Structure 1
Amino acid sequence: MKSFFQKIWLAFLLAPAFLFAAKGGNIVDNLVGGFNDQVTDAGSGIASGINTFATVMGVIWIIIMLLMAFFNIEAIKNHAKSLIGAIIIIGIVYGLSAAIM
């Protein structure tokens, strides 16, 4: 009876090797390929979310700047450096996330 359970246990241990080898090729290559695909998909999803966030923040930023210019042009003149810096940062984030997607 003990030998029977050992054979079943051995079959469960070796089953993944037979399943991955069914595609043909090396087991490790199949695992690495699957892992790389999953990481690429996850990274693309995260980059898509960041890209959407950067786009929304950029549009909101433009609307706020237009309203500020309409009501108080002096405020834009006083904060020009920080405004340009924020626009550059939003552009960089958008560009990097678009490149990753």
Structure 2
Amino acid sequence: MRKTKYTVEQIIVHLREVEVLCSQGKTIGEAARQIGVTEQTYYRWRKQYGGMNSSDAKRLKELEKENARLKKLVADLSLDNAILKDVAEGKF
């Protein structure tokens, strides 16, 4: 089965669609199937993105990208630091 990648903005739109469908009397499972996802996926999305709007989602995406960049930077600097310590101690 092919895994579809949704953007955060698309997920938020889908969550709102499910809310509208549920207010019209459909069950969560029916509404989730109508937007093309499983009920489990809907609940996972709702837990992760439930209270967000589009600007919050964009900010989250930017923060996650910055966090990944900083983690890589810390890993590189830690490696450089370890190499310099080894050289200073004469373990080269």
**Do the structures match in fold with TM over 0.5?**
no
Structure number with the bigger relative contact order (C-alpha 8 A, sep ≥ 6) is 1
- The answer to which structure has the higher helix fraction is 1
Q: Which has the larger radius of gyration?
A: 1
Query: Which of the five TM-score ranges fits, normalised by the shorter chain?
Result: 0.3 to 0.5
Tell me the TM-score normalised to structure 1 length.
0.39
